[in-house]
Structure 1
Amino acid sequence: MSTVPQRSAITGVVFSGSKLPESQTSTAIGSEPTSAKGSPTPSIRYDAEKGERIYEEDLGGYLVPALEKGRKNALLKPPSPWIKFRVWYNPYRMLYTTAFTLNMIGIVIAACGKFPYAEKHGAAMALGNITASVACRNEFFIRYFLYWPLVHAFQKWSPLPIRIFLTGLLQHLGGVHSGCATSGIAWFIYTVVRTFQHRGVNHTPPAVLAWGVLGVVVTVVTMFAAAPWIRAHHHNFFERHHRFAGWLSVVFVWIFVCLADSLRPDGTFTTEGRHPVKTQEFWYALSITILIAIPWTTIRKVPVEITTPSPRVAIIKFQKGVQQGLLGRISRTATMEYHGFGIISEGIESNTHYIIAGVQGDWTRGLVSDPPTHLWTREMKFAGLPYLAHFFRRVIAICTGSGIGAVLSTCVQLDNWFLIWIGSDMEKTFGPVLFDMIHRNIPKERYVLYDTKKEGRRPDTMKMLKDVYVAFKAEVVLITSNPAGNAELMAGCKENDMHAFGPLWDS
């Protein structure tokens, strides 16, 4: 059994009569049921004055329920089709569907001659969508124009449904990114087709047509390179083509915009430089260029210390402390193959921060087999889901393996988060640094560490989550696990009416 924190100074953890954990509802008041391993669990008594059932022990004495040996799934039965659909059709897909559908309706209306603005400014429609797409992936814009103001405006005081909605919206902005990018390309294709159709009436020179076609081809390559399947199975292809084809498409778009906006009705070009500056297309193209350039102005080559406690993990140590909730991108070169990771730090006043790189491919495997002394990183860190911690009064972070990297900073720096970390042979795999940080900074009643190899079985994660969710009075669960573990926990949380957010692999 994992060593769970001892009893704290809190006199008891309260469960309301209607919110008892499922495992306790059939237990007689005052009895002492046993855990999966036969150890006594905290007993329950009834407070007649308050009309509440109360745990005799707080979470410091909580005994982790375990599944029988050989069982891997904590769900007693497969989730219903409705639950599966709710997990699959998350806000990311909702935002994508909304952005793409609205734009397709606009293109159809424009093609029917009922949308004069789009007919005249098709390029502006395309570039406006691409501007929104780039902004939703820009570290500076997301952190300082979305996350920071919304967190400070709505943290804790606003009704929980509003905070849940904002969290889902901000976490799934990738849906806007993908939806607007796809729509922008569709508008660009529509504009080029219209340009060809009207080339005789408008005396359109071949140069404008040629650059329009080149722009469409390169932007389509950029889009397909970012398809989820390609990102998952051919990451290097995605890195090279999405980035460099994206940069090249910006160049082609600039040329197309400047040529099209400098075109006179008679088919000749004006030499008056102020004319393109007065157009919407020019300012959209400029905004896209600035948004893409800002993060790249902050790249630096920094010294690192890499330790490899096991062949499966590299612990990368950097200088300077970092606030909770931020993620960083690192690379061996200045321009190629940047990878995003959660940052672990005890706070901005500390002089170090860490990144855990679990071995998943050639690049991370190289950190273990051939650890570098320096890495390239972007000084501008981007905000992740834990950055929204201040939205909520109490949160449970449940993670498996190297998923600890995304949430440990927040659990260390804030006292309203409860950490559940599950892994196999954890101390041998991850070394002493993380465990030392946990033991020094997190009170024993605020974490559970469960080693599946040491225990010989997996924990009953859903029962544990239900128990801790009620006992800790949590408002939300944050999951950082692998795809299968995330799907299982998300489905279980939805079935038990617990608000939960998990990682995304399709954005």
Structure 2
Amino acid sequence: MGAGARPGSSCLGRWAQPNVAGFYFGCGDYSSGVALTYGIYRCPAFLPLPSPTMSSNSAMASSITLPVEEVHHVNPELSLTPPARAFFPLNSRNSSTHTLVVPEPAHEAPTSVASTHDSDDDEDEITVPDKKGNRAYRFLRWNFGSVYRRIFTIAFLANIACLIFVILNSVLTGAALTPQTCATAVSANILAALFIRNEHTVNAMFKVFVLFPAKAPLSVRRAFAKVYSYGGIHSGCGVASFFWFVLFLVVLTAEMDRPSSALRAYILLDSYLIGLLLFLIIAFAHPRARVLLHNWFEGTHRFLGWSVVLLFWALVMMLAEDSSDAANIPYAASVVMTPSFWMLIVITALVAYPWTRLRLRDVEAEAMSAHVVKLNFDFADVHYGQAVRLTDAPLRETHAFAVIPNPAAPTAADAEKGQVKGLSNAGKKGFSVLVSNAGDWTDKIIKNPPKKIWTRGVPQYGVLRVAGLFEPCIVIATGSGIGPCLSLFVQKPDHPVRIIWSTQRPAETYGQAVIDTIYKADPNAVIIDTKKTGRPDLVAITYRIWESSRRQAGIAQIENAGGKKMGPCEAVVIISNQKVTRKVVYGLESRGIPAYGAIFDS
């Protein structure tokens, strides 16, 4: 019996023993703190899996429901209703085609446990369909043709079109193309790239696009939910600025092939140095280099970026001086007449602003396990879907962590139901973050929790915020990805969701309070202990829930914690690592299910 399960619990009886596959379906009684810590958690009955050595057909034919022994001397408040059906992923190694078997109930449940019955018992299996189209179509549609890349392409090609137009106009009309014109285009693109990354810009976009009423057309909400792909503007304009700067160097070199003064020699030296730094920034920002050399990516983006801004200031000032001499006008007049001068002021402000919000904060650490620590802050109230940047060495590295708003103060009814256990800082101002072991920095924080830590900037919205657009929404998390999801479950406990969480030893690693919170948000949540089951096929499991929500049977009839009827699911949001996120989003979108996951572009 798993940790936290009590002898005599009405949902287990004496049948709570692992089967060959190592899967468990246990109860998530969030009111009493009862939950199994093995295999797959399902509320509120235990069902065995067919042996993994069976074929799909034989497994389906031999699927049975072990009887739940009636237990005497049980508190009636702990009596739970077993689900009419449960699902089991088969052939999880290949997500292209799967059959999810729904075992038939063996017999009517004992009188001490209320029984349910599906109105559509002949729908005993759901086959996950093949992906749409051929491989080339899928690559162009959902991989290379992702919304992020479409935005990047629009931003980049728009700049290339303008660049070609400027060149052709100069050739056809004979009008000289000046370095100042190219410099203006460079500074405009750098300004756009920085502006779209500003925390307040991002938060404003999410407020405009995500705070849309649920009654708006679903197609509109699904389109607006891609707002988190705004990074395509940043990268598109950033790459375009380099191409404009190459043109700037060509024009400048042709105009100053023989520098007549030391000033022009300095202009050429400064310009080629900026070009080199821009190339290095873009090279290390390439997706492959960003993954393999992430620390180098952060360092070049920060320090070389600052260097480019400083060198660009010097370049603009020197170009203004050179222009004032040629036009015989005052230097000050030449400066204020330069568009790049005004844009550089805004660029500098955008670079400096987050650092003006650098603060050393008090933090209270709660060790949840040897692999996870909870950091509690009290300096601000936050909203679900936001992240805060933390660091112990501000100039070296910063790390974004999803915030979990402090839960509301428990009511008398919560106390009667036992729902106050584990609610640390309930009713207080502030928030918390979960730090799990994912590298050297997080390992250091877990082993030696700090009493003070630096925060930079303001909390910023992320992809989980789009879950609020859909009712109900399937929320998938793996490992510590449950942290961002908890912010939604805590702050919007009545928002209809279906939850899938895959992690190792969930109760031991993250604590019973986390599991209780999940079951409070979705009493039929699926929690998978990968230590017992191995890595599940999340695409197949999600498709089963998605398809079942569209049928008038099984889990389509369930209600959320607030008693609201759960209709067809409208979208899927996943919080996981880059590999799993891309695999699941691609696997679902290529089967016609709208899915949303982080871009991992920073």
**TM-score by structure 1 length?**
0.81
- Does residue 1:86 correspond to 2:144, yes or no? no
Indicate which of 522, 528, 538 corresponds to 1:461. 538
**Could you tell me whether the CA contact under 8 Å between 1:392 and 1:475 is conserved in 2?**
yes
Contact 1:96-1:179 within 8 A present in 2 as well: yes
For residues 80-123 of structure 1, what are the alpha-carbon distances to aligned partners after superposition, in whole Å with 9 as ceiling and x for unaligned?
Answer: 51334433121111112222222223323333345869755111
Give the corresponding residue for 1:76: 97
Instruction: Determine if contact 2:384/2:484 at 8 Å carries over to the other structure.
Output: no
The amino acid of 1:290's aligned partner reads A
Q: Does 1:123 align with 2:183?
A: yes
Tell me which of the two structures has the higher relative contact order, counting C-alpha pairs closer than 8 angstroms and 6 or more residues apart.
1
In structure 2, relative to structure 1, the CA distance for the partners of 1:492 and 1:205 (3 Å cut) is: closer
Residue of structure 2 equivalent to 1:182 = 239
| CA distance in 2 between partners of 1:202 and 1:36 (Å) | 87
Matched with 1:263 is 322
Judge conservation of contact 1:399–1:481 (CA < 8 Å) in 2.
yes
How many residue pairs get aligned? The number is 460
> Would you say 1:326 and 2:405 are equivalent positions?
no
Which residue of structure 1 lines up, in the alignment, with residue 560 of structure 2? none
Q: Structure 1 residue aligned with 2:161, among 105, 116, 129?
A: 105
Displacement of 1:491 after TM fit?
3.1
User: Mind listing any 5+ residue stretches in structure 2 that lack a counterpart?
Assistant: 1-23, 30-58, 67-80, 99-129, 409-426, 550-555, 557-565
Provide the alpha-carbon RMSD of the alignment.
3.4
Identity of aligned pairs, percent?
27
Q: Does 1:404 align with 2:482?
A: yes
**Partner-residue secondary structure (3-state), 2:88:** coil
CA distance in 1, matches of 2:61, 2:182: 65
What secondary structure, in the 3-state scheme, does the structure 1 residue paired with 2:598 have?
coil
- 1:155 and 2:213 are equivalent in the alignment: yes
Residues in 1 aligned to 2:177 and 2:367: alpha-carbon distance in whole angstroms: 57
Deviation larger for 341-350 or 427-436 = 341-350
Q: Helix, strand or coil: the match of 1:386? A: helix
- Give 1:280 shift: 1.7
- Kindly state the Cα deviation for residue 39 of structure 1 after the two structures are TM-superposed: 3.4
CA 1:273/1:496 → structure 2, altered by over 3 Å: closer, same or farther?
same
User: 2:92 & 2:240 partners in 1: Cα distance?
Assistant: 45
Tell me which moved more, 173-182 or 232-241: 232-241
Partner of 1:496: 591
> Structure 1 residues 379 and 482, CA, compared in 2 at 3 Å: closer, same or farther?
closer
Between 1:129-138 and 1:482-491, the stretch displaced more is 482-491
Specify the code of the residue in structure 1 equivalent to 2:196. Answer: C
Cα distance in 1 between the residues matched to 2:152 and 2:62: 44
Contact 1:134 1:177 in 2 (8 A): yes
In the alignment, the residues of structure 1 paired with residue 281 and residue 156 of structure 2 have an alpha-carbon distance, to the nearest angstrom, of: 17
1:129 maps to amino acid: N
Counterpart mapping for 1:200-215 below 5 A: 205-215=264-274
Report what 1:65 is aligned to: 87
Structure 1 or 2: larger helix share? 1
Matching residue within 337, 345, 351 for 1:278 = 337
Superposed CA offset, 1:375-418 (max 9, x none): 11125111101223443333111111111122221132222233
In the alignment, is the contact (CA less than 8 A) between 1:300 and 1:377 conserved in 2? Answer: yes
Give the deviation of 1:4 after TM superposition: 5.2
Which deviates more, 180-189 or 59-68?
59-68
Structure 1 position 463, deviation (Å) = 4.5
**Structure 1 residues 143, 364: CA separation in 2 closer, same or farther (over 3 Å shift)?**
same
Give the match for residue 134 of structure 1.
194
> Which residue identity does 1:229 align to in structure 2?
R
CA contact (8 A) 1:129 1:180 kept: yes
Quote the residue 2:580 is aligned against: 485
The answer on 1:428 being equivalent to 2:485 is no
- Structure with max Cα Rg: 2
- Pair 1:73–1:366, CA change in 2 (3 A): farther
- Whole-angstrom CA distance in 2 between matches of 1:37 and 1:257: 75
Q: Specify whether residues 283 and 160 from structure 1 end up closer, same or farther in structure 2 by C-alpha distance, changes over 3 A only.
A: farther
Question: Counterparts of 1:248 and 1:404 in 2: how far apart (Å)?
Answer: 38
Distance 2:269 2:190 in 1: 21
Distance in 1 (alpha carbons) for counterparts of 2:374 and 2:474: 24
**Counterpart residue number, 2:107:** none
More deviation in 212-221 or 484-493?
484-493
Q: Does the CA-based 8 Å contact 2:382-2:459 persist in structure 1? A: no
CA contact 2:585–2:595 (8 Å) conserved in 1: yes
**Which secondary structure does the structure 1 equivalent of 2:453 belong to?**
strand
1:334 Cα deviation (Å)?
2.8
